[in-house]
Amino acid sequence: MRAMTEAQLEALRKLLGPEKVSQNESELKVHARDEGGQIESPPDCVVYAESRDDVVKVLQFCNDEGIPVVPWGAGTSLEANPVALYGGVCLDLSRMNAIKALRPEDFQVTVEPGVVHYELNKKLSKHGLFFPPDPGAPATIGGIVANNAAGIQAVKYGSVKHYVLQLEVVLANGEVLRCGSRAMRSSSGYDLVHLFVGSEGTLGVFTEITLKLVGLPPEVSAAVASFPALEGATRAVVELVQAGLSPAALELMDPITVRDINAFKGLTLPEAPTLFLEFRGNGPEVAEDVRLARSICEGNGCTRFESVVGREARDRLWEARHHAYYASAAANPGKRAIITDVAVPISKFPEMVEFARGKLEEFGLGGPILGHAGDGNFHVGIFYGDEQERAKAQAVNEAIVLKALELGGTATGEHGVGVGKIKFMPREHGASYGWMRRIKELFDPNGILNPGKVFPLEADRAP
């Protein structure tokens, strides 16, 4: 695939203004990799879009010229989702960060794609509202929607697809498409909104997103439960869900994760298999949920159950959980990691976690196991140093994904397909994968939108 010519770059500068088109070496480097860092590939240039019109101009130009376009939010993804594998334009949307309309009376907000989720929630809290999906990293709303992210509160609130009401999308040819409505429910026509949610920038570029919001609960209580064995912790997860409890969060951390967090955050949590739980609601309701959760955990061998009440104590607890990846990276200096995620039916969760730990031990690799246990989704950080260890890490990753599919699960619960999970798509989706490819070709016949993601390059027919 050819690099952009100087004539094409100059045409872009004239079209948008030179201040919006950068070939600065440091900016190209920043946009050459995401948080996963497995693949580094710089774009030919970075374009900083500031409006829908900028996005339209870029896509019209690049579609005519056969230039790849890769949307970029904050680069916090883990599967090389926003990496420009074949050069072209990295379309950075971080300057499109306006809250266009807040409608507290309707529990709705309309934002541009560059709004960072935790900054949005700070503003919403003044109105007693919040946007539940929380991937932990400082991700943008556009990136969260593009990957159908979920996060620590998914067990109660679900993934982002449950909160997207309306989208404004610029298609590959520059056409502006609006889909969905502000109604909370609709049976009108095909559901194009949820076609775009999770499409990873392969079908269009979001320029405006309308989200459904949730009211802040009056009381929050969090708890930490420690177990002597991983098996007891995973069994407790299954029983907590089967008992009909609806924790706002139910997170699993293995001893390695807890050890790394203790060192990174200066904490003294028992270095044992651990569950983080959170309950929200009215006082008596929360207290009863905590009591029942304690009973279930202790019935599965829990040796320490400590509850904390109030948002400040809760925030300290979850800050530690949010820094788990950085804690493990700090514990493995000079190494990289494959951060894989799978999801399985909740009854299969204990078997899946034990399998993952066994594979790490079989190949002699270290790494944390943690995740959103309440909905059967968890993550494994497979750290490696040299190329020999990298090959082992890839083998562990493949074994974990194939086991999840065998158990009726999915290759990715929330990280998206990106590059790393493409080879598993035919096995997971069968004939429907071919229909997905047809949809891609319909929306992007020239294959310019994020080529090499979700489908291999030859399916994108990128120039």
- Within this chain, do residues 21 and 85 fall inside the same structural domain, yes or no? yes
Q: Is residue 425 part of a domain?
A: no
Identify the segments of the chain with pLDDT beneath 50: 459-463
Q: Is residue 148 part of a domain?
A: yes
- Within this chain, do residues 299 and 386 fall inside the same structural domain, yes or no? no
The amino acid that residue 77 corresponds to is S
Q: What is the pLDDT of residue 310?
A: 63
Q: Is residue 449 part of a domain?
A: no
Q: What is the pLDDT of residue 445?
A: 97
Q: What is the pLDDT of residue 375?
A: 87
Where is the domain boundary, 325, 353, 371?
Answer: 325
Q: Is residue 452 part of a domain?
A: no
Cα distance between residue 103 and residue 23, in whole Å: 40
- Within this chain, do residues 109 and 201 fall inside the same structural domain, yes or no? yes
- Within this chain, do residues 115 and 164 fall inside the same structural domain, yes or no? yes
The amino acid that residue 153 corresponds to is Q
Q: Is residue 433 part of a domain?
A: no
Q: What is the pLDDT of residue 1?
A: 58
How many domains does the chain fold into?
Answer: 4
Q: What is the pLDDT of residue 147?
A: 94
CB burial readout 177-210, b (16+ within 10 A) else e? eebbeeeeeeeeeeeebbbbbbbbbbbbbbbbbb
Contact at 8 Å (CB) between 407 and 344? yes
- Within this chain, do residues 211 and 122 fall inside the same structural domain, yes or no? yes
Q: Is residue 444 part of a domain?
A: no
The token pair at 252 is: 């699993």
For residue 72, the cross-strand partners are 92
Which CATH number belongs to the domain containing residue 370 in this structure? 3.30.70.2740
- Within this chain, do residues 70 and 122 fall inside the same structural domain, yes or no? no
Domain of 340 in residue numbering reads as 334-418
- Within this chain, do residues 61 and 74 fall inside the same structural domain, yes or no? yes
Q: How far is CA 83 from the centre of its chain?
A: 15
Which CATH number belongs to the domain containing residue 16 in this structure? 3.30.43.10
- Within this chain, do residues 84 and 45 fall inside the same structural domain, yes or no? yes
Which CATH number belongs to the domain containing residue 252 in this structure? 3.30.70.3450
Length of the chain in terms of residues written? 463
- Within this chain, do residues 229 and 205 fall inside the same structural domain, yes or no? no
Instruction: Name residue, tokens 């500031």.
Output: 50
The SS3 assignment for 65 reads: helix
Q: Which three-class secondary structure string do you get for 97-117?
A: CCEEEEEHHHCEEEECCCCEH
Where is the domain boundary, 418, 438, 453?
Answer: 418
Q: Is residue 441 part of a domain?
A: no
- Within this chain, do residues 110 and 191 fall inside the same structural domain, yes or no? yes
CA 300, 305, 306: angle at the middle one, nearest 5?
165
Q: Is residue 456 part of a domain?
A: no
Where is the domain boundary, 94, 129, 150?
Answer: 94
- Within this chain, do residues 307 and 363 fall inside the same structural domain, yes or no? no
Q: What is the pLDDT of residue 443?
A: 98
- Within this chain, do residues 211 and 114 fall inside the same structural domain, yes or no? yes
Q: What is the pLDDT of residue 158?
A: 87
Cα distance between residue 378 and residue 387, in whole Å: 26
Which CATH number belongs to the domain containing residue 128 in this structure? 3.30.465.10
Q: What is the pLDDT of residue 244?
A: 86
Q: What is the pLDDT of residue 459?
A: 43
